[in-house]
Amino acid sequence: MTIKTILVPTDFSEPSAAALAYAKQLAGPFRSSIHLLHVTTDPGAQPWAAEGPPATLSKVLEELKLQAHRHLAQALSAADRTKYRAKLVVAVGSPFNRIVDYAKKNSVDLIVMGTHGQGALARAILGSVTDRVVRFAPCPVLAVRTQEAGTPARRRHPSRPTSRRITR
C-alpha cells in the first residue's frame, strides 16, 4: 500500500488539529505529501447577501480567504511545510463537495479529517460533512474524533462488568 498524498480538510477546530496530527504521523513513514484544505462559504450565496452591494461581498470573501490562508500557515510550521511538501489550499463553496472534488482532482490516496462526534439526532437533522465524505470520497477516509470534555477516556461496554479490587 502506498500513500503518496494525504488530504486534511480543516475548519480550524480541535478535531481538525487532531486530524492533522494523525496525518503527520502517517505521512512520515510513507513520505507522503500533506494537502491542508479549508473550505469557506461564499457570503454571496447566503440568504442575507441580497441586502448588500456585490462589491462589499467580494471584499468580505477576499478577507475570509486571506484569514484562512493565515490560519493554514499557522497550522503547519515552515519546517513541516517543507518536510511534508505541503500544499495550503483555500476553496469556496460547500465543504463536502469541495473536499470530495479536491480528492478526485488531486489523486488523493487518503483523507484524514476530524469529526465533532455529534449525536445521532443532530447528525440526522444537520448532516455531517465527515459522514458524507466517508460515503462519497474516491479514497479511504480516516475520521479522527477527539475526546469530549467530561467524557471518560474509555467507555465501558455495558455487557462487561467493571473489575473491582476487594480489600478486607
Tens of pLDDT, residue by residue over 4-17, are 999 999 999 999 99
d(CA 95, CA 11): 9
pLDDT of residue 115: 86
Domain 5-145 has CATH 3.40.50.620: yes
Question: Mean pLDDT throughout 28-35?
Answer: 96
**Residue 22 contacts by C-beta under 8 Å, 6 or more apart in sequence?**
112, 142, 144
d(CA 65, CA 42): 10
pLDDT in tens, 71-116: 999 999 999 999 999 999 999 999 999 999 999 999 999 999 998 7
Question: Greater confidence, 118 or 168?
Answer: 118
| Segment (H or E) for 37 | strand 33-40
pLDDT of residue 71: 96
d(CA 5, CA 111): 9
For residue 40, pLDDT over 70 is answered with: yes
Where do the domains of the chain lie?
5-145
Question: Greater confidence, 125 or 141?
Answer: 141
In 56-164, beta strands by DSSP E: 87-92, 110-115, 141-145
